[in-house]
């Protein structure tokens, strides 16, 4: 593992939300939409060993569901639009939010796992 510049939690999360290496904040975290890099191009941190698994999907569904469901209920109770608008609007909005949030959620999970391993190594 490369020398860690910052082991503080919130800066690590902030760097990952921007799609940057949780260690240095300069290298890219992803080489494509959700494919993470093996090593940081700037500091050489081994990021390929970190597996986020189903966490990002869970977090994305949780956030999108809490945004879309109340909006759907409020707008449908007021019945302000015809049905065809609802059938186009809500799935489209859910898809757009999912595509925006999923890589950020994966970045957050990678950063948390990276930070916990750094904190664990520090205590040994």
Coil, strand or helix at 118 = helix
Q: Which of 4, 3, 23 is nearest to 110 (CA)?
A: 23
Tens digits of pLDDT across the chain (124 residues): 444 444 789 999 999 999 999 999 999 999 999 999 999 999 999 999 999 999 999 999 999 999 999 999 888 887 788 889 889 999 999 999 999 999 999 999 999 999 998 755 655 5
Query: Distance from CA of residue 22 to its chain's centroid?
Result: 12
pLDDT recorded at residue 79: 78
Q: Where are the alpha helices (DSSP H) in the chain?
A: 9-17, 55-78, 83-123
pLDDT recorded at residue 2: 46
pLDDT recorded at residue 35: 95
pLDDT recorded at residue 122: 55
Kindly state the tokens that stand for 2: 């490369």
Burial 37-60 (b: 16+ CB within 10 A, else e): beebeebebebeebebeebbeebb
Q: List, in order, residues 6 or more apart from 56 with CB less than 8 Å away.
A: 102, 105, 106, 108, 109
Residue extents of the structural domains in the chain: 9-123
């Amino acid at each position: 593992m490369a020398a860690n510049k910052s082991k503080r939690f919130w800066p690590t999360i902030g760097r990952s939300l921007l799609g940057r290496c949780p260690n240095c904040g300069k290298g890219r975290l992803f080489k494509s939409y959700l494919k993470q890099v093996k090593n940081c191009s700037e500091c050489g941190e081994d990021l390929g060993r970190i597996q986020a698994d189903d966490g990002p999907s869970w977090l994305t569904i949780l956030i999108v569901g809490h945004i879309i469901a109340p909006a759907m209920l409020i707008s449908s109770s007021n019945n302000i639009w015809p049905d065809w608008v609802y059938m186009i609007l809500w799935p489209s909005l859910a898809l757009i939010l999912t595509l925006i949030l999923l890589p950020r959620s994966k970045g957050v999970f990678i950063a948390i796992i990276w930070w916990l391993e750094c904190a664990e190594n520090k205590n040994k």
